[in-house]
Structure 1
Amino acid sequence: MLLAVFTPCMTDCWGNNKASIPVHLDKRAMHPLLSLCVFWLLPLALTLEEDSPLDCVPRRSVPYHRNNAHLFREEGVFNYSTMLLREDLNLLVLGAREAVFALDLKDISKKHASVKWEVTKQQEDECKNKGKDPETECKNYIRVLHKTEDSRMYVCGTNAFDPECDYMSYADGKLTLEKKGEDGKGKCPFDPFQRYASVMSENGLYSATSMNFLGSEPVLMRSAPDSIRTEFKSSWLNEPNFVSMTQMPESVSSEDGDDDKVYVFFSETAVECDCYNKLVVSRVARVCKGDLGGQRTLQKKWTSFLKARMDCPVLESQLPYIIQDMYLWCDPQKDWRDCLFFAVFTPQSDTSDLSAVCAYRVSDISRVFEEGKYKTPVPVETSFVKWVMYSGDVPFPRPGACINNAARKEGINRTLDLPDRTLQFIKDKPLMDQAIQPIEERPLLVRRGATFTRVIVTQAQAADGKKYHVIFVGTEEGTLLKAVNYDQEMFIIEEVQLFHPPEPIKSLKFSEVTGHIYAGSDYGAAQIPLATCNRSFSCMDCVLARDPYCGWDQVDRKCVFLSTSKKKVIQSVEDGDASACPDADPVKPVNRSIWPGRNLKLHCTAPSNLAKTAWERDSSPLTPAARFQFLRDGLLILNASDSDAGRYRCLSVERSKADEHSMAVAEYQVSIGPAGTGDGTLIFPRARVDGPSVAGLQVVVALLVVCLLALLAWNFYKGHLPLPWNCGKKVAQSQETHEQGSEKPLVLETDNGRSSNNHNRGEAAFNAEEEHNDQAVTLPTLKFIDDESDI
């Protein structure tokens, strides 16, 4: 029944013909075994998915260490998420919560200057009165940082849910705010945790955010010199989540006199889907920089706003993946049409933990907007509006197009001259029918695990003369992935932990001047080089890393950065062929001794996550047995005997596209000593704490505990066992009974003033009881005879 509901929803979303897909299922025609087959096939499907190449494992995992990167953090300051590279000043301008820092571009741990921009007590109180958290939301989060043409900086902050902008300058080692206090509505978000996008072009700020306090008026606008924005219509922007914005110089060498464009990437609730639940899709929209709005229709509104859906197909997922970040890469020696958009996508449901990186050609996106079909809303009998492909006549000039030579020939030199028919068309139909597909209609990188957050792409020229795109991806766990796609082979070179404790990476920047990548998070900022080749200590490890930035220097016998070495290096990035590597230096053996009948562990760790370890004894392969346990980090010898003495060697075996390569990692000379001797490195087997057997045992123990508790509760209820709070009473009664049945004789004693203190205390208690009674009765005192003197 779920299939019958879900399938027509998705076919409508993608604009396919519902009649071509048999989705109307008769429940009476479905055999009862069909449901059972689904449950049988589900584990098989999960198994196939687990063994799929999408489980891309980084070859090297680098744990957190202070030497991994240059770090910057100031006590009491958080949210280092806005970055501006001022390579002309050798600065990294870092925007945080209520502070802006000017850091050394070559070493960001060195702070040159800083300036505070804090909210006033009145602003904080007003924000608190509006229902916002004074400790987190009612602060000033720096969200906009751009360089102006006069070398100043334009900066905006959330300012306790009342956004404000200002100009900032750096001179004589100081950062200075001019305190002009410009209104930041539409330029900067109100909510510090809301996604936004902005770009500065010719002192004109293009921004995508919300216009009001509630965040219910999303807008894509240009603030200056001529203010212009989008319509407040769901067909234009429907609950968007803005991601990134960039500009393209499409007027350069344009044959038809085209205009420059501004592209904005975002996700929103799809209006074209007649789904029962809201479906989020990824979008790219563009506007022309020379757009001035219409004369009567669309006054001070974009006349060139067009948007299209972006697809990043992952495992033929039914629900589309959602864009989280975008990076524009252009070859300075090629035309703008050869530029590429690299985007990060994540699933919109909790049923998948895959993240992906897809690449798109700018020319493909431009072609959809210039030549593609439009979608149009069509009322149907039901309460919703259905969007279908528009097949009618398209007016001239083409709706959403920039002013070009063809329009100028018709006397249309500005958007103010556009006819109302064109303007009304784009006002009602801003959505394109065709979806934009990635290059080769597949992702460049897909990985299961930590969610992708940000992406940066560089280009490296390898030793073979070829150029490769190196993808750096930030994750929610504070790690940075470095990956390359070699002819549709997804290969992750390494994963480096940048922040501890783990914090999501919220910004990434790359500097061509320093060749470093800068990452920002709530905790702080980090700076790392493009490659750390010295992590490889051998030629084989250096070559198998397949890093286009690194190669093995045969003269210096070390792994070096390619651009800094003028000597011939060994490198094989596409195949990972390490056959050209010279023989490695022999491993120095370590002497170990063990008592007979005892256990010994020989440590060995593979230098790569893709490698497996193999053991040899006296140059012969060693196979796992009852007394030889192969562990992930070594070999465990159980119940050693004289025959176990010998030379043990651990090999790291790693397979690449070229061949299988092995390398000696550790070597031990093991001797069996007489009883009472040994080096003290004895190992006793430890209980296994993971795996299916242990999990089953834990379930059995849990069930036994539940049964025991139920049995106890039943015995308490039936009275077979005393309740805990009645135990004291029963113990007292049993003690009293025991004392009465003892052999000590009881005598009657009257108060004659010669009793001991203990007896007086007993009488005092008895007299207190007498005073409580209505009639005073004098009774002799009962007393145990403790010794002969009492007799």
Structure 2
Amino acid sequence: MPLGRAMLIVVPVLLQLSGFCWTATVSGLEGVHKLEAKVLDPDTFEGVANFSTFLLDRSSDTLLLGARDAILSLDTSDLDKPPRKIVWDVPKEKRRSCVAKGKTEVDCYNYIRLLEFLGDGRVYVCGTYAFDPQCAFLELSSFTLQKAEDGGVKMETGKGKCPFEPSQHYTAVMAGGILYTAATSNFLGTLFDISRATGPEQERIRTERSINWLSDPEFVSSAFIEQSAVSDPSGDDDKIYFFFTEVAKEYDLYTKVKVPRVARVCKSDVGGMKTLQRRWTTFLKAQLVCEDKPSGQRYNILTDVYTMQHTQGEPSSTHFYGLFTSQWESEQLSAVCVFSLSDINKVMDGPFKELKKNCENWINPEPVPTPRPGQCLNTELKAEGFESSLKLPDKVLTFVRDHPLMENSVSAAPLLVRQGVGYTKLAVSQTGGGDEPGGLVLHLGTDRGELHQVEVVGQNTTLLREMPLFSSQEPINNIFLHKGQALVGSPLSLARIRAEGCSLYPDCEACARARGLGCVWDPDQEACRTTGGQSGSDETVDDALRKCNVQEGRCAPFPRELRVFLGLRLLLPCVQLSPRPCSWEHPPHRLTRQHHSDLEVTVTEENLGRYVCTCQEVEPGARDPTPCRRAAFHLTLSDPTTREAVAAGGTRHILAVYILFFCLGVLLSLSVVFVINRRRGSGRQGNHLPDNSLSSGKGPGLLGSSATQQSPSSDSMTFDGFPEKRNGTATTNTTSTLLSNHGNGGHPGNSYGNNLIHRNPSNGHGTSLHGNCNTSGSGKFPTEIFAPDMMDGKTGERESGVGGGLGEPLRDGLREGMKGLEDELAKITMFKSGAPLAPCEESSI
């Protein structure tokens, strides 16, 4: 076949296939736009990336973003305005010195890790500065860094205020203009301190260098609780709380057991006179226990903490919502537990844990001296002559130095449990008032760029909606709730979406599922309205759904009929939000296996029939759990023609991408042949080639074969309206994804590869199999799902190569290759007829 003719065939095919791939790539954002979201992608920030810390000025609606070598300012009320930028980078000489010390070049930049208001119109800014932390002052009015006399940035040391490494776990909080931090304090990252990092030099104190105080901690969050003179007439001191995970030293086990902790220090603490000089005299810590007692499942890794004061002006109403995972689970597992400030203080006022040992026996605990060790100074102690921690007796200071851990733990049962989902960030909004709000909405960011909203009423949880916002390789690392909207950030992007209010739910069914938040459907206005009273009235979700003429309710799902064929492997979903177990009713057969709450089924004639998932839930006002039916399916056998049609339609996009790589290989081969022919022609005109040239005939077979990935060749099938299965969890992306590339998945500590995030326009996936989607982001979440031939994100590969040689057989090989291409194209339905690809409003590419 002449080269020109071959090019005329291949190039249009490539253009058509690339158009299909572009459509699949950009379609994933359509559902986000329908959710009235404003998404700023990496192009908006003009090369600025690695956003690690956010600071929101609620008075001016200004959001500050700390990035690599830069600080950005955005107007949250108008995100179309170009962001303002300050460049604060590291000199090249200092970067070279950092690399010479053994650090990677990517780490030797200035990653902004701290942004805190100083209260005088300035912001305190700290960055890693090539493993030499430095801090500066940002003038908000002019949005410039304060200058030194030599014209450069006025800087001061950031050691103890900011971590050395970009990915190190770290937290800080400003209390009365004084900065309190929990960070590493040396270049190697082996020393950890909780300290008062600013203020008068003699009042800058830190923790004792003892494993009993801090044992390889991973700091997560901190909170400043300011006491109110009205609500606390005792004159108790203000307190700062730190949340972290550390290696437990109180357990005699061979493996390292991690436990979540909460630590407390007092604001007026200035250390001891002789004992604990320049050290905390009020440092106490307790274990946090997030455990579902009926199942015995405990979640021991703390990921994030959101502090919320349920009643404004009452510090005692403060609750801490903790995001947990498990050290012992091989698959992703996330849970949310809530701890009250009063429960934490009760444990801090309780017995101390004795950590000392004598040979193999625990020694008798020491008597607790007076005044009580670790107690904050109040009016009563000051009246007894203890106006300052410097006046505390040595026996009190010695006791608190040796007994930082409390005997009792702060325990809570999980509000929410999700299997197969990795949550990275949490924010909470409430409806109602008082210590027991009528309803809560948990805004949960995932490690795959999604935002989930879950309603919590009493002990029941309902998944309201799941929104893909960013690339699947962009974990969400910041969520701010402001004026009924959520500002959601990742290391590369930013999104603003509506997060509160009944008007979020556009139809009757979605509004009914938010019944616990005080939402009711107005049929006259065809809109979801608030009831105006206390959320969660006597009307249940099922009652509200019946008014929408929906047959199924929260615990009465309508059975879905699935037409399947023999040998098909599928995964029937049952979305479990509560920590209580779920069970399946199904025809007895050995080819079924439960994956957490989902059920894997290999279809045979014996196991056709009814499948029902029932979970245990606790109704409002009840003590014992009651069964709640969450999913129902009915499997029936389809005819062979249906199987062939569905399989052909389902693999259409997979084959299209395969043909794309096939054509690229052929195009490359044709280019090589073209160059060879030119060189042959010039050789015949007198241009002599060396003996080892390609035209000498010594190199037959040097053109290697190319291998491309493809999905497994086994049977597959898709159904309309099925949500995507990601790591065992149903989401609103109604696609079944093959060859899913999870990428780095993200980490709460912002450790993304070499600490540098690169933009991936392919959204982190390989090849996807698209079904017929209709996702509107309206809050409707179908419970059916289908995952053929692979469970929990496993992928399959098949290699297919195209090769050829040189010399005379080359033209025959190319002719056969082009004929094979025409045969491949003829096998695909979309080339047989004029039918387009299945329309898809969202994609998981």
Counting only pairs closer than 5 Å after superposition, residues 179-218 of structure 1 correspond to structure 2 as: 179-218=153-192
Distance 1:239 1:469 in 2: 34
C-alpha displacement of 1:319: 6.3
C-alpha displacement of 1:85: 0.8
Report the residue type matching 2:402 in the other structure: D
Distance 2:338 2:236 in 1: 25
Report the residue type matching 2:368 in the other structure: V
Q: Which residue of 1 aligns with 2:547?
A: 581
8 A Cα contact 2:307 2:321, kept in partner: yes
Q: Which residue of 1 aligns with 2:219?
A: 242
C-alpha displacement of 1:578: 2.2
Q: Which residue of 2 aligns with 1:54?
A: none
Report the residue type matching 2:405 in the other structure: L
Counting only pairs closer than 5 Å after superposition, residues 424-443 of structure 1 correspond to structure 2 as: 424-438=398-412, 442-443=413-414
Given the alignment of the two structures, is residue 417 of structure 1 paired with residue 378 of structure 2, yes or no? no
8 A Cα contact 1:553 1:567, kept in partner: no
Q: Which residue of 2 aligns with 1:145?
A: 115
Q: Which residue of 1 aligns with 2:240?
A: 262
Given the alignment of the two structures, is residue 540 of structure 1 paired with residue 509 of structure 2, yes or no? yes
Moved more, 332-341 or 320-329: 332-341
Distance 1:379 1:209 in 2: 30
C-alpha displacement of 1:338: 1.9
2:136 to 166, 181, 187: 166
Given the alignment of the two structures, is residue 392 of structure 1 paired with residue 366 of structure 2, yes or no? yes
Distance 1:456 1:536 in 2: 20
Distance 2:244 2:374 in 1: 19
Structure-2 change in CA distance of 1:485 and 1:579 (3 Å) = closer
C-alpha displacement of 1:302: 0.5
Given the alignment of the two structures, is residue 445 of structure 1 paired with residue 412 of structure 2, yes or no? no
Given the alignment of the two structures, is residue 70 of structure 1 paired with residue 38 of structure 2, yes or no? yes
8 A Cα contact 1:93 1:101, kept in partner: yes
Distance 2:498 2:537 in 1: 20
1:232 to 192, 202, 209: 209
Distance 1:110 1:286 in 2: 42
Instruction: Report the count of equivalent residues.
Output: 558
2:305 to 326, 334, 337: 326
C-alpha displacement of 1:99: 1.1
8 A Cα contact 2:431 2:535, kept in partner: no
Q: Which residue of 2 aligns with 1:472?
A: 443
**TM-score normalised according to structure 2 size:** 0.60
> Counterpart of 2:291 in 1: which secondary structure?
coil
1:41-83 CA deviation, whole Å, 9 max, x = no partner? xxxxxxxxxxxxxxxxxxxx99863554222331322222211
C-alpha displacement of 1:137: 0.8
Structure-2 change in CA distance of 1:104 and 1:695 (3 Å) = closer
Q: Which residue of 1 aligns with 2:288?
A: 310
Distance 1:472 1:625 in 2: 37
Given the alignment of the two structures, is residue 500 of structure 1 paired with residue 466 of structure 2, yes or no? no
1:151-192 CA deviation, whole Å, 9 max, x = no partner? 2111101111111001101225x4444422110000000011
Structure-2 change in CA distance of 1:300 and 1:575 (3 Å) = same
Given the alignment of the two structures, is residue 222 of structure 1 paired with residue 172 of structure 2, yes or no? no
Q: Which residue of 2 aligns with 1:349?
A: 328
8 A Cα contact 1:552 1:570, kept in partner: no
C-alpha displacement of 1:571: 9.0
8 A Cα contact 2:571 2:787, kept in partner: no
Report the residue type matching 2:320 in the other structure: F
Distance 1:517 1:231 in 2: 39
Q: Which residue of 2 aligns with 1:91?
A: 62
Structure-2 change in CA distance of 1:543 and 1:175 (3 Å) = farther
Structure-2 change in CA distance of 1:688 and 1:155 (3 Å) = same
Structure-2 change in CA distance of 1:660 and 1:273 (3 Å) = closer
Distance 2:347 2:141 in 1: 46
Structure-2 change in CA distance of 1:108 and 1:688 (3 Å) = same
> Counterpart of 2:140 in 1: which secondary structure?
strand
Structure-2 change in CA distance of 1:152 and 1:399 (3 Å) = same
> Counterpart of 1:578 in 2: which secondary structure?
helix
Q: Which residue of 2 aligns with 1:530?
A: 499
C-alpha displacement of 1:612: 4.7
Structure-2 change in CA distance of 1:107 and 1:314 (3 Å) = farther
Q: Which residue of 1 aligns with 2:651?
A: none
Q: Which residue of 2 aligns with 1:79?
A: 50
C-alpha displacement of 1:368: 1.0
Distance 1:333 1:188 in 2: 31
Given the alignment of the two structures, is residue 277 of structure 1 paired with residue 255 of structure 2, yes or no? yes
Structure-2 change in CA distance of 1:148 and 1:574 (3 Å) = farther
> Counterpart of 2:354 in 1: which secondary structure?
strand
Unaligned runs of 5+ in 2: 1-27, 148-152, 573-613, 621-626, 630-641, 648-713, 718-785, 799-845
Distance 1:247 1:387 in 2: 36
Structure-2 change in CA distance of 1:104 and 1:693 (3 Å) = closer
1:12-31 CA deviation, whole Å, 9 max, x = no partner? xxxxxxxxxxxxxxxxxxxx
1:292 to 246, 249, 270: 270
C-alpha displacement of 1:380: 3.5
8 A Cα contact 2:299 2:327, kept in partner: yes
1:225-272 CA deviation, whole Å, 9 max, x = no partner? 221111111111110000000011235332322100000000111111
Structure-2 change in CA distance of 1:684 and 1:176 (3 Å) = same
Distance 1:219 1:194 in 2: 13
Structure-2 change in CA distance of 1:351 and 1:414 (3 Å) = same
Structure-2 change in CA distance of 1:361 and 1:570 (3 Å) = closer
1:388-423 CA deviation, whole Å, 9 max, x = no partner? 8x7432111111001123322321110000000000
C-alpha displacement of 1:575: 3.1
8 A Cα contact 1:102 1:111, kept in partner: no
C-alpha displacement of 1:297: 0.7
1:500-538 CA deviation, whole Å, 9 max, x = no partner? 244111122222xx2211222112122221148667553
C-alpha displacement of 1:449: 1.4
Distance 2:440 2:120 in 1: 34
> Counterpart of 2:261 in 1: which secondary structure?
strand
Structure-2 change in CA distance of 1:554 and 1:567 (3 Å) = farther
8 A Cα contact 1:78 1:522, kept in partner: yes
Given the alignment of the two structures, is residue 102 of structure 1 paired with residue 73 of structure 2, yes or no? yes
Distance 1:354 1:118 in 2: 39
Distance 1:467 1:151 in 2: 38
C-alpha displacement of 1:549: 6.8
Q: Which residue of 1 aligns with 2:91?
A: 120
Distance 1:474 1:632 in 2: 25
Distance 2:218 2:565 in 1: 58
Distance 1:301 1:343 in 2: 28
Q: Which residue of 2 aligns with 1:509?
A: 480
Identity %: 35
> Counterpart of 1:376 in 2: which secondary structure?
coil
Distance 2:99 2:499 in 1: 44
Distance 1:573 1:81 in 2: 44
Q: Which residue of 2 aligns with 1:23?
A: none
> Counterpart of 1:526 in 2: which secondary structure?
strand
Structure-2 change in CA distance of 1:418 and 1:251 (3 Å) = farther
Report the residue type matching 1:159 in the other structure: Y
Distance 1:488 1:449 in 2: 21
> Counterpart of 2:139 in 1: which secondary structure?
strand
Q: Which residue of 1 aligns with 2:343?
A: 364
> Counterpart of 1:267 in 2: which secondary structure?
strand
**TM-score normalised according to structure 1 size:** 0.64
Distance 2:513 2:359 in 1: 63
Report the residue type matching 1:75 in the other structure: E
Distance 1:503 1:375 in 2: 42
Distance 2:514 2:437 in 1: 17
Q: Which residue of 1 aligns with 2:776?
A: none
Report the residue type matching 2:235 in the other structure: G
> Counterpart of 2:398 in 1: which secondary structure?
helix
> Counterpart of 1:161 in 2: which secondary structure?
coil
Given the alignment of the two structures, is residue 552 of structure 1 paired with residue 526 of structure 2, yes or no? no
Report the residue type matching 1:544 in the other structure: R
**Larger Rg: 1 or 2?**
1
Distance 1:692 1:241 in 2: 37
8 A Cα contact 2:323 2:425, kept in partner: yes
